[in-house]
Chains A and B, each alone.
Chain A
Amino acid sequence: MKTNKNISLKDVGKKLPFEVPENYFENFALQMDEKIMGKRFSLRNYFKPWIYIAASLVGILLAGQIFYTVYQNNTRNKEDNYEAYVLSQVDESSIVDYYVDKPAN
């Protein structure tokens, strides 16, 4: 037997019978900020272009340094070789005469 035939949606109302934890929406928004910003500004992504630029500069400097060292060595070798060549063309007595005739400073 029906005890109350008048019960309808109007009796229930439209208020939702749910709650959320305290400060839920404030905390949720902050949590999402972290996720979004974290993803966007992750250290790896943030520094990526700088890492590429720095690596390129270091590469250029290293290549320059290597080129310069090799060039210097070659120049020095050439000078040493020339000096040895000149000395080999002069006999010992000429060298002694050179030093004897050279006025003392």
Chain B
Amino acid sequence: MNPIEEELQNELNQPRKRAGAFTKVVREYQERLYWHIRKMVLSHEDANDILQNTFMKAWNGLDGFRGDSQLSTWLYRIATNETLTFLANKRMRNISSMDDIEDSLLQNLKAESYFNGNEIQLKLQKAILTLPEKQRLVFNMKYFDDITYEQLEAVLGTSVGALKASYHHAVKKIERYFEDEED
């Protein structure tokens, strides 16, 4: 555990210092968690809502956090669950329409005012959207954030072997998508 995380965890365990420590937690982890969420939902507004829910869940659940895992791992887990819940709800709402959720996310991305990518980056986002949700998580966390497989295992609860296989397949699928697009 890094010293900052250890200090924060100690302060969170002291009722008098808890609120102050949590404001430090927000500042320490907000950017990492935001980008983790944003890569999955693509829209800034949605990512903002999920990030708020993530921190509120963490704040309300602090008593349940016994320090068995690292603070960052615990926060990533909450953020991941909140993101997957958001996508599941979105999927439920889209059930009546003909579009699937990935099309809807892509449409949002094209209309997104906070997207500044070029054509090839947009193509990568389209390719990532063809992956199943869990594989998208693995790919995003590994490819963009270079998170170790051990950390991924702690967050996603999947074995290192399965994660390596999932990432490998994700890369192959994306490269195949690029090839097909160029045909």
- Contact yes or no, B178 A33, CB < 8 A: no
- Contact yes or no, B23 A33, CB < 8 A: yes
Q: What A residues does B121 contact at CB under 8 A?
A: 12-13, 15, 17
Q: What B residues does A19 contact at CB under 8 A?
A: 44, 114-116
Q: What A residues does B178 contact at CB under 8 A?
A: 7-8
Size of interface on B: residues with Cβ below 8 Å to A: 40
Binds B, one of A35-43, A60-68, A93-101: A35-43
A-B contacts, CB under 8 A, total: 91
Q: What B residues does A23 contact at CB under 8 A?
A: none
Size of interface on A: residues with Cβ below 8 Å to B: 32
Q: 4 more A-B contacts (CB under 8 A) besides A5-B179, A33-B23, A33-B26?
A: A18-B114, A19-B114, A28-B26, A32-B30
Report A's interface with B, CB cutoff 8 A: 1-5, 7-9, 11-21, 24-25, 28-29, 31-33, 35-37, 39-41
14 A-B Cβ contacts within 8 A? A7-B178, A7-B179, A12-B123, A16-B38, A17-B121, A19-B115, A19-B116, A20-B34, A20-B114, A21-B44, A24-B48, A28-B48, A31-B52, A32-B55
Report B's interface with A, CB cutoff 8 A: 19, 22-23, 26-27, 30-31, 34-35, 38-39, 42, 44, 48, 51-52, 55-56, 59, 112, 114-118, 120-125, 143-144, 171, 174-175, 178-179, 182-183
